[in-house]
């Protein structure tokens, strides 16, 4: 059996995590995006992080970088790999730190669970 970890979308799951480096200083990111009110990015973020926040603010939920689109293809790839090689896969670790609001964490856990179950991938948090 192959055990996987998935923390996508990383800027949501690790928002405000001091130990994860300066790129995740932004907080207030909700799941799924886009937010009801555009999020203003904190100062001195790298250009690609600011660009990602702009996409998060404007892209529809089906393609938003802070939606199931962030992990669905990766989980599908794991399912395809499992089918090809004949080894079961298990999502042994996923989650979001508590700096994300409770409703968004609940939405995230539900979306990952549903995606895994739809692909017949076992999971645990």
User: What residues does each domain of the chain span?
Assistant: 2-123
Q: Which CATH number fits domain 2-123: 3.40.50.2300, 3.20.20.80, 3.80.10.10, 3.40.220.10?
A: 3.20.20.80
Place of tokens 């730190």: 97
CA atoms within 13 A on the CB side of 64: 21
Crossing angle of helices 102-118 and 72-85, rounded to 10°: 30
Q: Identify the pLDDT of residue 23.
A: 87
Q: Identify the pLDDT of residue 121.
A: 97
Q: Identify the pLDDT of residue 103.
A: 98
Q: Identify the pLDDT of residue 65.
A: 96
Q: Identify the pLDDT of residue 52.
A: 93
115: Cα separation from own chain's centroid? 12
- Residue 64 near residue 33 (C-beta atoms within 8 A): yes
- Residue 89 near residue 1 (C-beta atoms within 8 A): yes
Q: Identify the pLDDT of residue 42.
A: 83
- Residue 122 near residue 91 (C-beta atoms within 8 A): yes
The DSSP symbol for 44 reads T
Sequence-ordered list of residues with C-beta below 8 angstroms from that of 35, at least 6 positions apart, any chain: 28, 29, 56, 57
- Comparing CA positions, the residue from 32, 14, 52, 24 lying closest to residue 106 is 32
Q: Identify the pLDDT of residue 59.
A: 97
Q: Spell out, as residue ranges, where the chain has pLDDT lower than 70.
A: none
CA–CA dist 113, 121 (Å, integer): 9
């Amino acid at each position: 059996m192959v055990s996987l970890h998935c923390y996508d979308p990383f800027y949501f799951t690790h928002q405000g995590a001091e130990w994860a480096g300066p790129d995740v200083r932004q907080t207030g990111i909700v799941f799924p995006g886009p937010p009801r009110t555009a999020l203003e990015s904190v100062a001195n973020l790298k250009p690609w992080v600011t660009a990602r926040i702009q996409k998060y603010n404007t892209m529809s939920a089906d393609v938003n970088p802070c939606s199931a689109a962030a992990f669905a293809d990766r989980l599908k790839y794991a399912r395809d790999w499992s089918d090809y090689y004949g080894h079961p896969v298990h999502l042994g670790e996923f989650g979001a730190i508590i700096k994300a609001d409770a409703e968004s964490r609940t939405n995230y856990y539900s979306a990952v669970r549903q995606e895994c179950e739809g692909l017949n991938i076992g999971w645990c948090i």
